[in-house]
Amino acid sequence: MKVNTGIPVQDLKAVGAAAQAAEATGFSGISTQENRQDPFLPLAVAAAHTEDLELRTSIAIAFARSPMVAANMSWDLQRASNGNFTLGLGSQVKGHNVRRFSVPWSAPAPRMREYVQAIRAIWDCWKNGTPLDYQGEHYQFSLMTPNFTPEPLDGELPKIQIAAVGPAMMKVAAEECDGVMLHAFCTRKYLDEVILPKLQQGLNAKGKARTDFEISGGGFIVTGKDDEAVDKMFEWVRMRVGFYGSTPSYWPVFEAHGWQDLGQKLNDMSKKGQWQDMTKEISDDVVREFCAVGRFDEIEKEISRRFAGPIDVISMPSDTPSDLIMALKQ
């Protein structure tokens, strides 16, 4: 199992030291999110300060950028990171695409399929000299001259993974990508009974081996150096479960446990602005279905119970002790 961590991205001057510390501690890789800051720039800094650390966007918002832009940045980061970059993409929701990024909205799964295919067509052009001619409904690319072709990569192309919640995007991930990043709003029951069969169907359709496909995430890890830290994070997860559970697109997870009424109640409360009261509706037992819980000195068995087997990559806090990281990686 790979063990990754996040790095602070608000100060680019601090990224190099943080990345070096993560590598020295034994983490498999680091990831960045696209919230307040761009997710690619910090990884460029990290690449210049590390040797073998995997770097990934988790996630970069796809439709806000042309596939050509994403392909170019990924190509450069793959070279800078000694072949250790993974492009993690997500679709975001309609409101953010239309109102924050001012890009048109359409069904996200078919568009994401084209997005990934277009990037691969661009890389094939750059790596193998194949004439660029990708013609999709959403993206079309047919012009690439030597002046705009980047220097060749010595090794493998970057890997592509996408964030997926619903069955349509799971199918795209399995058929078109090198892996999937599962949402933290996921229980082991939902993972085993819904997600894994959907992914396997997609892999079978393309003749792909499960061993060549990486599954990341799929739940929260509530941990820290002492009980106080664990309790604080547990309450944060309770809040997140209430927040996500109020949205109908996440209700299939509740339905797997027979919690349909809870989802509807949370949705009704959200429409009334009762955000703090929503958290009170989430019992300790419900929270524990979504996470592994325990201090650093006791979390290993919990992580194994909750994630071992189907999950290939987990994320841990940056202050996780080295011996625990090594134990989890075995």
Reading the block at residue 64, the tokens are 């806000």
Q: For residue 275, which phi and psi values (nearest 5 degrees)?
A: -65, -45
Flag whether the pTM goes above 0.75.
yes
Handedness of CA 110, 114, 120, 123 (dihedral sign): negative
d(CA 289, CA 44): 37
β-partners of residue 293 are 222
pLDDT given for residue 146 in this prediction:
94
d(CA 273, CA 250): 19
Domain boundaries, the chain: 2-329
pLDDT given for residue 255 in this prediction:
94
Binned average pLDDT, 10 residues per bin, the chain of 330 residues: 94 96 97 94 97 95 97 98 97 88 94 98 97 97 96 95 91 97 94 94 95 95 96 96 90 93 95 93 96 96 93 95 94
Return all residues near 25 (Cβ < 8 A) that are at least 6 apart.
318, 320, 322, 325
pLDDT given for residue 225 in this prediction:
95
Q: Give the CB-side neighbour count of residue 206, counting CA atoms within 13 A.
A: 17
Burial (CB < 10 A; 0-12, 13-18, 19+), residue 160, is buried
Residue 274: other Cβ atoms inside 10 A: 15
pLDDT tens per residue across span 58-98: 999 999 999 999 999 999 999 999 999 999 999 988 888 89
Q: Do the beta carbons of residue 7 and residue 18 sit within 8 Å?
A: yes
Side chain identity, residue 226 = D
pLDDT given for residue 90 in this prediction:
94
Q: Do the beta carbons of residue 187 and residue 257 sit within 8 Å?
A: yes
pLDDT given for residue 218 in this prediction:
94
d(CA 317, CA 221): 9
For 35-88, give the DSSP string: SSS-SHHHHHHHHTT-SS-EEEES-EESTTS-HHHHHHHHHHHHHHTTS-EEEE
Quick one: the chain helix, strand, coil %, rounded to 5? 50, 15, 35
d(CA 61, CA 162): 10
Which CATH number among 3.40.50.410, 3.20.20.30, 3.20.10.10, 3.40.50.360 corresponds to the domain 2-329? 3.20.20.30
In this structure, the dihedral spanned by the alpha carbons of residues 298, 259, 251 and 192, taken in order and rounded to 10 degrees, is: 50
